């Protein structure tokens, strides 16, 4: 091949641009500063194209006006060439720039939330310096747009191949909790500018643990403390000691017993659970409805020995709607839970207690765009009207700051 002086091609060659080991492109919002963007992986086929022509490394380097070492760095991917150098190299090797260099789909290291077979579609959120991948599963997975495909790496780690950019993921707040209305809340939040909400279905105590472990931005909880007669705050102080936290009112709701339509077993209260012809569908110990059930049994002077003998007391499910489904299918006769779950499956509801439902937000996440979207939505008349229509909800004070906790200080009530 005839050697063409570089200056006859495009003028003086420019030095290559060295690839930075990490590129951080900050989001425009002040809160999101420090959440990294992700560069696509740079791939080079320059060596293969050169060897195809039969030219030596030194020869090509001289022809395009750079050092042998600089060309070697380009061929190994240690250096990204500047525009002029790439064009020179393509002309000398008789190919296009695209034949020499390409960008692969971005791959992001993540921590997988959940035990699911991979590959799996997943949604992303950024917490405490790492990306968390929440698999989109079940029926709802078909209705959720994922951020990418999570896969196992050869070294046993998990990464995700992105379907698009990270803009939505950077603005995503993870909301942990088990209220059936959270799906409606997340849907309304997507209509707010700036934020996105990702639901992490967990019972109330488990939601508090997710906050403690850096796996959620906010937790929705309902936990009644019988000794103090207070909801939520005693559990927050026990489970998250020394944390600066904000507790916002979400709503009050009706809790009680879910029974089959028309109440064919004639269940009136918790002492009826002792009957041999009644089968209970219980919730897990971390659930607020389970805490209430045990509180009601204590008030009815049902001993620990007696409650362990209740038919179905050890049979646990992990959401109010799962419990309601068991009643609807006839697999159980009664379950503790909210009125909304009963109405959702056309069950009969026996009200026993009105209860607070609060949103717990660590101070560092109060200004997160996803959290701000949540707090804006619950104050919107359209959302409140739809929430009331679900049954058993009173969102009159939704979005109001109820109290805060501070490290080494007593809780402060909002004025």
Q: Is 259 helix (H, G, I), strand (E, B) or coil?
A: strand
pLDDT digits (tens, 9 = 90+) for 180-210: 999 999 999 988 888 899 999 999 999 999 9
Coil, helix or strand for 169? Answer: helix
Q: Look at strands 196-201 and 172-177 and give their pairing.
A: parallel
Radius of gyration, alpha carbons of the chain: 29
Residue span(s) of the chain under CATH 1.10.260.40 come to 6-104
**Is the pLDDT reported for residue 370 higher than 70?**
yes
Q: pLDDT category, 115, cuts 50, 70, 90?
A: confident
**For residue 6, which phi and psi values (nearest 5 degrees)?**
-60, -40
pLDDT reading at 269 higher than 70: yes
Residue 366: alpha-carbon gap to chain centroid: 16
Reported CATH class of domain 171-415? alpha beta
Torsion of CA 124, 125, 130, 131, to 10 degrees: 0
Region(s) of the chain under CATH 3.40.190.290: 171-415
**Residue indicated by tokens 């260099």:** 101
Gap between the Cα atoms of 194 and 172, Å rounded: 9
CB contact at 8 A, 340 and 392:
yes
pLDDT band at 78 (very low <50, low <70, confident <90, very high): confident
Would you state the pLDDT for residue 408? Answer: 52
The pLDDT score that the predictor gives to residue 165 is 81
Tokens representing residue 195 in the block: 């934020």
Which fold, 6-104? Answer: 434 Repressor (Amino-terminal Domain) (1.10.260)
Residue 373 is predicted with a pLDDT of 95
Find out whether 289 and 204 touch, Cβ atoms under 8 Å: no
């Amino acid at each position: 091949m005839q050697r063409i002086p570089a200056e006859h091609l495009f003028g003086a060659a420019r030095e290559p641009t060295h690839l930075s080991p990490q590129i951080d492109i900050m989001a425009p919002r002040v809160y999101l500063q420090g959440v990294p963007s992700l560069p696509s992986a740079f791939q080079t086929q320059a060596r293969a194209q050169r060897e195809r022509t039969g030219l030596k490394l030194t020869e090509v380097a001289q022809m395009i006006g750079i050092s042998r070492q600089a060309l070697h760095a380009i061929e190994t991917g240690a250096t990204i060439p500047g525009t002029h150098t790439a064009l020179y190299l393509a002309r000398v090797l008789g190919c296009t720039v695209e034949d020499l260099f390409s960008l692969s789909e971005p791959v992001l290291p993540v921590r997988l939330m959940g035990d699911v077979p991979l590959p799996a579609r997943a949604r992303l959120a950024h917490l405490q310096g790492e990306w968390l991948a929440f698999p989109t599963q079940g029926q709802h997975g078909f209705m959720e747009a994922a951020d990418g495909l999570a896969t196992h790496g050869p070294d046993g780690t998990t990464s995700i191949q992105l379907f698009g950019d990270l803009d939505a993921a950077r603005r995503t707040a993870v909301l942990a909790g088990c209220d059936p209305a959270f799906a409606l809340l997340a849907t309304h939040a997507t209509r707010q500018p700036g934020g996105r909400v990702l639901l992490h279905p967990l019972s109330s105590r488990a939601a508090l643990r997710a906050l403690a472990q850096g796996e959620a931005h906010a937790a929705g909880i309902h936990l009644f403390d019988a000794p103090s007669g207070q909801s939520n705050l005693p559990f927050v102080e026990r489970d998250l000691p020394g944390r600066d936290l904000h507790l916002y009112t979400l709503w009050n709701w009706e809790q009680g017993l879910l029974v089959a339509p028309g109440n064919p077993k004639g269940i009136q209260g918790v002492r009826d659970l002792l009957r041999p012809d009644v089968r209970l569908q219980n919730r897990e110990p971390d659930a607020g409805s389970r805490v209430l059930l045990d509180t009601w049994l204590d008030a009815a002077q049902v001993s620990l020995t007696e409650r362990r003998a209740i038919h179905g007391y050890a049979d646990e499910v992990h959401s109010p709607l799962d419990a309601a489904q068991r009643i609807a299918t006839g697999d159980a006769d009664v379950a503790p839970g909210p009125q909304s779950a009963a109405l959702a499956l056309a069950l009969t509801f026996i009200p026993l207690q009105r209860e607070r439902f609060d949103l717990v937000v660590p101070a560092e996440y109060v200004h997160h765009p996803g959290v701000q979207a949540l707090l804006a939505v619950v104050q919107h008349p359209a959302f409140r009207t739809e929430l009331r229509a679900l049954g058993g909800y009173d969102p009159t004070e939704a979005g109001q700051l109820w109290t805060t906790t501070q490290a080494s200080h007593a809780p402060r009530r909002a004025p």
